Structure 1
């Protein structure tokens, strides 16, 4: 669980750097709920970043893992709105977004 929270913080910092005015950005909304078998959080910032994520504990064979789903949106330097949806599960990290190359 701590690893997932650290991952979320890392993604947040990367998005803030992309958004440009991270030094002066203010958190406009922040919701968080952490439980025994999962978590969820959401926040919006004054520089246009929005991030929502949830993780649920899942049994896989003889082990337990957290399956994470989320989405974040920010404005790129060229003014384009970037939205990325993702799932991280036992099969890896799976991002989807119109700005990503299609394979």
Structure 2
């Protein structure tokens, strides 16, 4: 449930981004694998060398069930020519983001 709420918020923020700054070059390489349990791995690279990779896997939860844990990263070349790398993870402890370019590392509270 936490994953769904956090993921929904991330999608909402992405959809609210101004379209004038969105780069619309297609993926030149795209790999994606899914299994029957909902676990997945994906990776794609755009024409401007943005690289995104993500993995979702089922892990046992404290209540005896399973929860989908995600981890991934994306990197891109900024307008200033620097490469920016952001790593993220969503698990039973909440959603965590790490990147040297981020101004402040504040943990998100768990729901």
TM-score range, shorter chain: 0.7 to 0.9
Task: Decide which of 62, 71, 74 is 2:73's aligned counterpart.
Answer: 71
Structure 2 gap ranges (5+): 107-111
**Alpha-carbon distance between aligned partners in 1 of 2:85 and 2:11, rounded to the nearest angstrom:** 17
Structure 1 gap ranges (5+): none
Q: Output the aligned Cα RMSD.
A: 3.0
CA contact (8 A) 1:44 1:50 kept: yes
Alpha-carbon distance change, 79 to 21 in structure 1, aligned in 2, over 3 angstroms = farther
CA contact (8 A) 1:21 1:47 kept: no
Larger Rg: 2
Deviations 1:11-43 (CA, angstroms, capped at 9, x unpaired):
9x67xx7xx5623x1211100001125110000
Give 1:80 deviation, angstroms.
Answer: 2.0
CA contact (8 A) 2:44 2:52 kept: yes
**Alpha-carbon distance between aligned partners in 2 of 1:97 and 1:10, rounded to the nearest angstrom:** 20
- The equivalences for 1:6-85 within 5 A come to 10=11, 22-23=23-24, 25-35=25-35, 36=37, 38-62=39-63, 63-85=65-87
Please give the TM-score of this superposition, normalised by the length of structure 2. Answer: 0.69
SS of residue matched to 2:23: coil
Please give the TM-score of this superposition, normalised by the length of structure 1. Answer: 0.74
